[in-house]
Structure 1
Amino acid sequence: MTEPAPRTLRRRDALSRGFTDAEIRTLCRNGGLRRLRPGTYLSAVADASMDPAQRHRELIRATLPGLNPDAVVSHQSAAVLHGLSLWDIPLDRVHVTRNRTGGGRRTRHLHSHSAPLLDGDVIVRDGIQLTSVVRTVADLCRTESFEAAVVVGDSALRSAAESPGAVAAALRYATGRPGYPAALRALGFLDGRSESVGESRSRVALAALRLPTADLQASLLDPDGLLIGRVDFLFAAAGVVGEFDGKVKYGKYLRPGQDAGDAVFAEKQREDRIRDAGWEVARWTWRDLDRPDVIGARVRRSMQRRDDRPRPLGAVLRAN
């Protein structure tokens, strides 16, 4: 088999072109192909270049032709197709829902759910039937952990401009079903002002620490009304700013022609202006999100230091 393997190779297509199962097995054994699911393969180059969401899209495309037309892509598979942010949700199986009262099953590559699909719950995108954004979030709030549900729910409210009320309406089908109380709890916590996975996870961590509720994406102004900076978390009464340091966040400070070093320098200048105005700043990173007590101690130390200083200057504009 001397020809380069295509991005996705179906066994039947390879056989029709004159290749043999033995040749396909040899390529899989030698690393030229990676098995996506039985009968479908990815070239090793393509597989190495994909992130988990991209690979899952290929798995969806490879799986749907073998399913009955009543299968609607749902749960995390629908979230991937909608471009929603996911955290700690496995993407090893394609999830579909059928409008049935029973008969769900799970195999190595497919999880088939049975649940009511109401008017508006199903849309078609690029020829694929999938659950709407709000139904997708409602499903994941039932089936995933609180933190994972908050991440995807915040993403939907932020990027898809959905409302908590619309998600709540989509969740009504599940009244009395397993996971419904957990879904209501997650739904009540969603906030589209969280701008990243890290900020959503930070909100969960801060809530568990029983710290005062922080304002999100508040803008700090100096006494002349000029913008000092917009901050991730603001504990206004305590005079403390909280900032999640993810690698991605510095990209929002980049201008054409700038590199990452320029962005880091701009962020340092921004923080200096915030401190000069009298605010204490507490920062945490991805690693700290797995150790919430570290975040709590850092924020509380900032609050204690702030008690010994004059009140911050200027004003605060809170995001809606």
Structure 2
Amino acid sequence: MFAGPVHIPDVVLRSELLVAGWSPDEIRRMVTRGDLRRLGRGTYTTAGPAPADRRVEHVLRVRAVVRRLDPTAVVSHASAAAVHGLPCWGLPLDRVVVTRARVSGARRSAELLVRAAPLPDHDVTSVMLPGDAGTLRVTAPARTVVDVARTYGFEQAVVVADAALARPRRDVPPLVTPDELVAAVADAGGRPGAAAARRVATFADGRSGSPGESRSRVAMDAAGLAVPVLQYEIRDAVGVHVATVDFAWPERRTVGEFDGKIKYGRLLRPGEEPGDAVYREKLREDAIRAEGWTVVRWRWQEIRPFTPVLARLRPRLG
């Protein structure tokens, strides 16, 4: 039941609205006015227009679908990655994915994919939802990374694994430690995709600063480039810090920088325009070049195919 006669939670089922006293005609009018937005069959949200970040929309759908399931269902795979706030580049978010601790019983519908697999207690956690929306039972972060790596492509899984291993700030621990990831891979044992999960865990690096940087690492590896140093600190002749760069090949005095709109958004200071951040980045690059380094930049659109970037990097790297 709702907290009051006119209060509607941000995610609500049609059946709950009917029980609380709203008529079918009222529900239709609320949808027409935009007070409610359909999330799926018999589910609505009061959160307004669909957000640009598809993860946010998917989490709303997760919350709606899980309301109709019994408590044994645990949000997993791509859906768990979205709930944990991990980047979901290339992951399918058309269905909510849950896992039940059974040996059989997997099924698929237009909105839901149910998987059956072992689910020990240490592989399940609870994530607090905003406001008074309660919690969601979700696979633990390390199990989520392994499930993603077992199920989806290598590039998509590396994006998730890198982000899970990253430290948001120096005083904040990563979502997953390397030891936890190794243990989760071992727990996967002989399950389908275990070898793919081991490959992802070996390749993953928490120093990768964005999905674009993670995808760039995959492209470099596929092209056979020398492995770069990530988040390399460039210093001048007397040891003063000049810049920290995305990729570096110190023996070749070459820097690689991935340019993404999100990156420039992070560089913005209070009261600044985007052009201010771009100009400051130009001054930073000038300082790097002044120390005798070559800077090669690329954008999101150049990651696939990576051929134009390789044409700029290979003459420097040999």
Cα distance 1:263–1:53, how it changes in 2: closer, same or farther (>3 A)? same
Cα distance 1:7–1:163, how it changes in 2: closer, same or farther (>3 A)? closer
Q: How far did 1:10 drift?
A: 2.7
2:239 to 217, 225, 228: 225
Q: How far did 1:111 drift?
A: 1.1
Look up the match of 2:137: 129
Instruction: List alignment gaps of at least 5 residues for structure 1.
Output: 305-320
Contact 1:96/1:111 (<8 A) preserved: yes
Contact 1:47/1:55 (<8 A) preserved: no
Contact 1:282/1:302 (<8 A) preserved: no
Q: 1:46 is paired with a residue of what secondary structure?
A: coil
Return 126-135 or 267-276, whichever deviates more.
126-135
Q: How far did 1:208 drift?
A: 0.9
Return 28-37 or 144-153, whichever deviates more.
28-37
Root mean square deviation, CA, Å? 2.3
Contact 2:35/2:48 (<8 A) preserved: no
Pairing of 1:24-63 with structure 2 (within 5 A): 24=27, 33-42=36-45, 46-49=48-51, 51-63=53-65
Return 188-197 or 231-240, whichever deviates more.
231-240
Look up the match of 1:21: 24
Matched, 1:72 2:86: no
Pairing of 1:309-320 with structure 2 (within 5 A): none
Matched, 1:178 2:192: yes
Look up the match of 1:118: 120
Instruction: List alignment gaps of at least 5 residues for structure 2.
Output: 1-5, 129-134, 168-173
Look up the match of 2:226: 212
Give the fraction of aligned pairs with identical amino acids, expressed as a percent: 46
Cα distance 1:59–1:161, how it changes in 2: closer, same or farther (>3 A)? closer
Q: How far did 1:175 drift?
A: 1.9
In the aligned structure 1, how far is the partner of 2:162 from the partner of 2:113?
25
Q: 1:35 is paired with a residue of what secondary structure?
A: strand
Return 149-158 or 221-230, whichever deviates more.
221-230
1:245 to 256, 259, 272: 259
The aligned length equals: 301
**Which one-letter code corresponds to 2:146 in the other structure?**
A
TM-score (norm 2): 0.87
In the aligned structure 2, how far is the partner of 1:50 from the partner of 1:236?
39
Look up the match of 1:149: 157
Matched, 1:202 2:220: no
1:258 to 247, 250, 272: 272
**Which one-letter code corresponds to 1:121 in the other structure?**
D
Q: 2:122 is paired with a residue of what secondary structure?
A: coil
**Structure of greater relative contact order (alpha carbons < 8 Å, 6+ residues apart):** 1
In the aligned structure 2, how far is the partner of 1:257 from the partner of 1:32?
34
Contact 1:72/1:131 (<8 A) preserved: yes
Cα distance 1:227–1:206, how it changes in 2: closer, same or farther (>3 A)? same
Pairing of 1:239-318 with structure 2 (within 5 A): 239-303=253-317
TM-score (norm 1): 0.86
Contact 2:79/2:93 (<8 A) preserved: yes
Contact 2:159/2:214 (<8 A) preserved: yes
